[in-house]
Amino acid sequence: MAIISLSGAFSAPKRRPKTYKARDGAYPVGGNRGYYIAALPRPYPMTPQQSKVKRVADECNIKPGISKSALMTAMKNCVSQKMRR
């Protein structure tokens, strides 16, 4: 603790202000306990370009976890021709 001196007079130790918490408020605010019921949001509709890319990826057997060499081969040999259609 440090004692502050102003022109010879001593004052109380300097402290930080108390941290505000939601439970200290006069009315309920965010952060209090509680539950709410909500439905999951509906998926966005796919654009024509997105549906085309998805179809081509399925036809060319491109999926998560594919190796880099297999992906490069599929992109060169399969995807380029099917995306032109």
Average pLDDT (1-22) is: 61
pLDDT average, residue stretch 22-34: 62
One-letter amino acid for residue 8 of the chain: G
In sequence order, the β-bridge partners of residue 10 are 5
Q: Amino acid letter at 24?
A: D
What average pLDDT score do residues 68-74 get? 94
Torsion of CA 26, 30, 34, 40, to 10 degrees: 150
Residue 28 in 3-state DSSP? coil
Q: For residues 66-70, give the mean pLDDT.
A: 95
Average pLDDT over residues 64-69: 94
* Residue 71 scores a pLDDT above 80: yes
What pLDDT score does 84 carry? Answer: 86
As given in the structure block, the two tokens for residue 17 are: 């202000």
Average pLDDT over residues 16-20: 70
Give the pTM. Answer: 0.49
Q: Could you give the C-alpha distances from 18 to 15, 21, 25, 33, 55, in angstroms and in order?
A: 9, 9, 13, 22, 58
Higher pLDDT: 7 or 21? It is: 21
